[in-house]
């Protein structure tokens, strides 16, 4: 501590260090014990409220600097407390207490500076917005954001009112409704960070300089919205400059969210209504919209899955215990198509040396060029640099020579979905790779145990299933075969985290988890088309269900020809095993589209949609001729239920069979893997959110009576309906 600083150990409790210099400037250092980050809870708010009272009443305090003793400034509310609230009155009081505390701080008359040494998220940024000045270290890794919308709530500490008054309504709305994260430099350009500092010393020096300037002025520190004649930058909600936006913005939002996400709607309402009244009334309006969201089913679903369950996965809940963590040093990728090229890129980007092998050198070079193209786009968008691009490309060695795979401690094959081809490359590669290395197959459907039969070391063989495009999709599905060892699983898990993706662990089965359950969505859409439902209504039902793309468009993306290949392979496998094969009702339609109509999907420019060059895709007009409309058209809700229940029921079967073993893997896998609606919290949480397994079973039986046994509820759901049990929701 500097010689001119006096510490007050009696004021900040355990969470806040309090120091005062000889000019009366109080420095509050947030440093909550036992936590890696500062959060908003009673451990913080109780001593902070007492400190505000001291600031207001103690004439020796001339100004305040609020900073952090941790890596980041503050990461927001304590999610545990928020998740536990079920009474809107409690939520209203919770937000009201925090707002009242911040209001006292900004109205104390003494200059208060937020010295942001790292990320300020959620309530942490709201605290900073209530200060008279915000100074941040110019660290590109730091994030400034109000991300509450991503958990189904809104900023409840005045964020929906202070931010628009600082930077204008139109600039604030995307940050609030999308939860966009900005680095300090971009936040400064937006106008809610006032100064950028080089380091912590520079930040504190600038903070003191600002406070001393206010002291010397002899004027009290006030917020812009508390000053006489204040006007919103760009105008308030009733200003003519905003007139064109308000009729359009809600419609645009509804088109994007399909009315499934109440948080963006409530945020927009709070901003609009708050922009018509004085600041204190606006805070009350925000509080009511906040309280409604906190107790909503959508919020509980999203917090339970996207916070608690995702954290469980990231902390290694599915990773074998007792195996030392490790990192891949040299990776071999077999197959330089789009999938293999994407795997090479994300691995090289994470600092791993990559050998990208294809049958021909030209193919391998083309695969490496894929990384070059991605980096060129990133440079154009300011997200990369020429030096970074060079470093990534230097780590990728394109080759047609299997000998170059010598010493690879991990091999991932990404060749065509053919059992014989995969077996051949397995045998060829294992002869030269590191004897202790792991061999991973990127297959999306072929059982791992069967593929491992061609391996000389099946205990070191595992499925590592990426999703396309690899550089954008956050999930990797790790598939454990019958002989896969715990050490092999741990090494695959560590690799997935090394490349900054989310791993889920599943057991071997045909289609594993994600491909098996994802297929029910597109197949159900195709079945409805075969029944004579209007293709446009089917696609709209998919969007209303919360899926990112309609089932027919998604099947075009996957490729009808690939789906048919999988169906044919599955039929052969069942026959070879002496098992009866029951085709899905959609199979004849897929076969007809490929074999009779020569419309194999988007890659060929023709599937359920036409893909005119330079134009937007459109549903193929020929669908009306080949799949005539039925006299009875289903309601949208009926179609939505079919699409959602098909996926959730198949997930329950996977859980029952031990293909997935945790609710976290199932829910996160469904959202990150194939885009199941986040507001439902994932496929297993969907069964909870519709009223629990008993309600789910009742509706599933109705659907089974009308559309077939594929909707008959999984046995585990019937047992849970009787016992009253539910899937883990957190």
Split at pLDDT 50, 70, 90, the class of 1 is very low
Confidence of residue 539 (pLDDT cuts 50, 70, 90): very high
> Torsion over CA of 508, 509, 515 and 516, rounded to 10 degrees?
-140
> Is the alpha carbon torsion for 320, 321, 322, 325 positive or negative?
positive
Structure-model confidence comparison of residues 1 and 502, the more confident one: 502
Residue 718 exposed, middle or buried by CB count within 10 Å (0-12, 13-18, 19+): middle
Show the tokens assigned to 453.
């039969």
The pLDDT mean for the chain works out to: 95
CA angle in degrees (0–180, nearest 5) for 34-154-271: 140
Cα distance from N-terminal residue to C-terminal residue, the chain: 43
Q: What is the model's pLDDT at position 252?
A: 87
The 10s digit of each residue's pLDDT in 630-651 is 999 999 999 999 999 999 999 9
Between CA 530 and CA 591 the distance in angstroms is 12
Q: What is the pLDDT of residue 12?
A: 61
Residue 519's contacts (CB-CB under 8 Å, 6 or more residues apart) are 511, 563
Residue of 368, 360, 390 whose CA lies nearest to 378: 390
Q: What percent of the chain has pLDDT over 90?
A: 88
Q: How far is CA 95 from CA 89, 92, 282, 431, in A?
A: 10, 5, 13, 63
31-44 pLDDT, tens digit per residue, is 999 999 999 999 99
* pLDDT at 72 (0 to 100): 96
d(CA 678, CA 690): 14
Decide if pLDDT at 265 tops 80.
yes
Q: What is the dihedral of CA 703, 708, 709, 712, to 10 degrees?
A: 0
Nearest to 152 by CA among 295, 255, 258: 295
- Among the listed residues 132, 465, 534, 680, the single catalytic one is 465
Whether 417 shows a pLDDT value over 90: the answer reads no
Q: Which residues, at least 6 apart from 47, have a Cβ–Cβ distance to it below 8 Å?
A: 11, 12, 13, 15, 16
Q: For residue 520, what pLDDT is reported?
A: 97
How do residues 70-121 score in pLDDT, each as one tens digit? 999 999 888 998 999 999 999 999 999 999 999 999 999 999 999 999 999 9
**8 pLDDT exceeds 80?**
no
Annotation says 584 is catalytic: no
In the numeric block, the tokens 């790779």 are attached to 433
Q: Over 80: is that where the pLDDT of 5 sits?
A: no
Cβ neighbours of residue 705 closer than 8 Å, sequence gap 6 or more: none
* pLDDT for the residue numbered 249: 87
pLDDT (average), residues 318-334: 95
Is 496 within 8 Å of 490 (Cβ atoms)?
no
Tell whether the model's pLDDT for residue 588 goes beyond 90: yes
Average pLDDT on 5-15 reads 65
Give me the residue label for tokens 């029910």: 520
Query: Which residues are CB-neighbours of 131 under 8 A, at least 6 positions away?
Result: 66, 105, 106, 112, 113, 114
For residues 494 and 316, give the distance between their C-alpha atoms in angstroms, rounded to a whole number. 9
Query: What sign for the dihedral angle of Cα 363, 364, 365, 370?
Result: positive
Tokens of 536: 């446009």
Mean pLDDT, residues 488-515 taken together: 95
Whether 4 shows a pLDDT value over 90: the answer reads no
**pLDDT on residue 6:** 60
Q: What is the largest CA-CA distance in the chain?
A: 91
The reported pLDDT for the residue numbered 7 is 59
Cβ atoms < 10 Å from Cβ of 515: 20
Domains of the chain, first to last: 5-294 (3.90.226.10), 330-509 (3.40.50.720), 515-658+662-723 (1.10.1040.50)
Give 424-463 pLDDT, tens digit per residue. 999 999 989 999 999 999 988 889 999 999 999 999 999 9
Instruction: Give the pLDDT confidence score for residue 2 in this predicted structure.
Output: 44
Match 């010393």 to its residue by tokens.
201
At 507, list the tokens. 């057991």
Reported in sequence order, the residue ranges of 600-671 that DSSP labels E, i.e. its strands, are: 609-610, 618-619
């Amino acid at each position: 501590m500097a010689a001119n600083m006096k510490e007050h150990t009696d004021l900040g409790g355990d969470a806040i260090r309090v120091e005062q210099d000889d000019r009366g400037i109080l420095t509050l250092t947030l440093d909550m014990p036992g936590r890696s980050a500062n959060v908003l809870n009673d451990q913080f708010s109780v001593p902070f409220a007492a400190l505000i009272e001291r600031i207001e009443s103690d004439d020796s305090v001339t100004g305040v600097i609020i900073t952090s003793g941790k890596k980041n400034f503050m990461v927001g509310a304590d999610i545990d407390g928020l998740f536990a609230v079920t009474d809107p009155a409690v939520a209203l009081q919770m937000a009201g207490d925090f707002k009242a505390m911040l209001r006292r701080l900004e109205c104390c008359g003494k200059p208060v500076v937020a010295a942001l040494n790292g990320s300020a998220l959620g309530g942490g940024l709201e605290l900073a917005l209530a200060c008279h000045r915000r100074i941040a270290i110019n660290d590109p890794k730091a994030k400034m954001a109000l991300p509450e919308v991503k958990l189904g709530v809104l900023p409840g500490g005045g964020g929906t009112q202070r931010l628009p008054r600082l930077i204008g309504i139109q600039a604030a709305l995307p940050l609030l409704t999308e939860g966009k994260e900005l680095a300090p430099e971009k936040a400064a350009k937006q106008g809610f960070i006032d100064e950028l500092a080089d380091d912590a010393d520079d930040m504190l020096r600038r903070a003191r300089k600002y406070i001393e300037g206010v002291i010397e002025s002899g004027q009290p520190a006030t917020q812009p919205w508390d000053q006489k004649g204040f006007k919103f930058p760009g105008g308030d909600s009733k200003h003519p400059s905003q007139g064109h936006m308000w009729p359009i913005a809600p419609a645009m939002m509804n088109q994007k969210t399909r009315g499934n996400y109440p948080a963006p709607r409530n945020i927009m309402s709070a901003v609009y209504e708050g922009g018509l009244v004085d600041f204190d009334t606006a805070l009350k309006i925000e509080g009511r919209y906040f309280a409604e969201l906190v107790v909503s089913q959508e919020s509980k679903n999203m917090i339970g899955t996207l916070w608690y369950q995702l954290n469980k996965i990231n902390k290694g809940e599915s990773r074998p215990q007792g195996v030392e963590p490790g990192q891949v040093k040299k990776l071999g990728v077999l197959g330089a198509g789009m999938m293999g090229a994407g795997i090479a890129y994300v691995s090289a980007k994470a600092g791993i040396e990559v050998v990208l092998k294809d049958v021909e050198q030209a193919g391998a070079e083309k695969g490496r060029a894929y990384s070059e193209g991605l980096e060129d786009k990133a440079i154009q968008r300011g997200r990369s640099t020429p030096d970074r691009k060079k470093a990534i490309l230097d780590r990728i060695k394109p080759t047609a020579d299997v000998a170059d795979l010598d010493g690879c401690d991990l091999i991932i094959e990404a060749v065509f979905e053919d059992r014989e081809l995969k077996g051949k490359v397995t045998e060829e590669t294992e002869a030269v790779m590191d004897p202790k290395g792991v061999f991973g197959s990127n297959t999306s459907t072929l059982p791992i145990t069967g593929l491992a039969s061609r391996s000389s070391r099946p205990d070191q063989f595992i499925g590592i299933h990426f999703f396309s495009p690899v550089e954008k999709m956050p999930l990797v599905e790790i598939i454990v075969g019958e002989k896969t060892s715990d050490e092999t699983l741990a090494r695959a898990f560590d690799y997935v985290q090394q490349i900054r993706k989310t791993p889920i662990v599943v057991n071997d089965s045909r289609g594993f988890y994600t491909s098996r359950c994802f297929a029910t969505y597109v197949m159900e859409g195709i079945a409805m088309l075969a029944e004579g439902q209007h293709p446009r209504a089917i696609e709209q039902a998919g969007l209303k269900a919360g899926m990112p793309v309609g089932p027919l468009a998604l099947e075009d993306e996957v490729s009808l020809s690939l789906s048919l290949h999988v169906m044919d392979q599955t039929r052969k496998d069942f026959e070879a095993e002496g098992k009866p094969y029951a085709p899905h009702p959609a199979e004849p339609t897929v076969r007809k589209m490929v074999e009779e109509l020569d419309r194999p999907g988007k890659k060929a420019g023709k599937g359920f949609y036409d893909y005119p060059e330079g134009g937007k895709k459109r549903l193929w007009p020929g669908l009306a001729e080949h799949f005539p409309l039925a006299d009875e058209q289903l309601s949208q809700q009926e179609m939505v239920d079919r699409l959602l229940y098909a996926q959730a029921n198949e997930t329950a079967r996977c859980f029952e069979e031990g293909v997935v073993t945790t609710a976290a893997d199932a829910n996160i896998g469904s959202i990150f893997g194939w885009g199941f609606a986040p507001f439902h919290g994932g496929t297993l949480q969907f069964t909870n959110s519709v009223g629990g397994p008993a309600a789910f079973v009742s509706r599933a039986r109705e659907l089974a009576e009308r559309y077939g046994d594929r909707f008959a509820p999984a046995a585990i759901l019937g047992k849970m309906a009787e016992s009253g049990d539910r899937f883990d929701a957190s």
